[in-house]
Structure 1
């Protein structure tokens, strides 16, 4: 697969976040939350919640990804890259729909697996880390790539969706 180093590094970071979160949580849960870890009622509830959280996360990522694939690529460029600023569709509601959805991924995995430490401590920290990555790396890269056009887009489009219609478009359309 032809892609850039930046994309490869982000994929590696995602793998580390998910599998590192699972490993750390198993360690902490076996040490401190054994009764909750082995509680079938807890697992039943978290499994259902996790399924829905994962569905929302992947749907949001797919909505943003489809829009970028259709409108953000011109010519032969590396996979998962764009060379056109997309400001329509879901990108009218939020500048980073894919990453907003993927912020739910650690929580979805944590709930699906029923790992208390991951649910209550690690997943929120990972979501915060993802948010920081977005506002530092993604915003900077977008500005470098698209310049003043991105600044104009940034002025009128929020980082995350703010209206009911935008949330619906991101998670349910």
Structure 2
């Protein structure tokens, strides 16, 4: 999706004044790098905490224990929240107005819908009532300053 969206957007933007602006590309690329760094930080910080859900000899990306500590005490899907930033970061890095304003929001929405439909169903199936109780107490994502700092910089306070 990201590559196809980028090709479409670049073709659409190629002869536009904004795409031809060096100043726009400098600001856009720097913003994109920052957002991509934050997205990868979120994935790393969430992933490190998620390893606490692996008990015994199970595959690397699997969990067999519900993790509700660390960043998961602030939000249920920190890694996927970070993942939603990837299309925007990529669009900014490319400096494509079409990607930034049209493609990235659609891809971000697609990621959110997939989380709501598939990830929530899978975790509920796997952990049952314990997850339902957790779900009632902890939001899917949180924009509280403490939570965002924890997510992107790995600091609790």
| TM-score interval for Structure 1 and Structure 2 normalised by the shorter chain | over 0.9
1:79 aligns with 2:60: yes
Give how far 1:76 is off.
2.5
Q: How does 1:6-45 map to 2 (within 5 A)?
A: 17-30=1-14, 34-45=16-27
The equivalent of 2:34 in structure 1 is 52
User: In the TM superposition, what are the counterparts of 1:62-73 in structure 2 within 5 Å?
Assistant: 62-69=44-51, 71-73=52-54
Report the Cα offset of residue 66 of structure 1: 0.7
Instruction: Return the offset for 1:34.
Output: 2.5
Contact 1:91/1:97 (CA < 8 Å) preserved in 2?
yes
1:21 Cα deviation (Å)? 1.8
Q: Would you say how many aligned residue pairs link Structure 1 and Structure 2?
A: 154
Per-residue deviation at 1:38? 2.1
Q: Does 1:88 align with 2:69?
A: yes
- The two structures, once aligned, show a CA RMSD in angstroms of 1.2
Structure 1: gaps of 5 or more residues? 1-16
TM-score, normalised with respect to structure 2:
0.93
Partners of 2:37 and 2:4 in 1: CA distance:
22
Structure 2, unmatched stretches of 5+, are: none
Aligned to 1:154: 135
Partners of 1:88 and 1:22 in 2: CA distance = 37
Q: Give the Cα–Cα distance (whole angstroms) in 2 for the partners of residues 162 and 156 of structure 1.
A: 15
Shift of 1:47: 0.7
Secondary structure, in 3 states, of the residue corresponding to 2:99?
helix
**TM-score, normalised with respect to structure 1:** 0.85
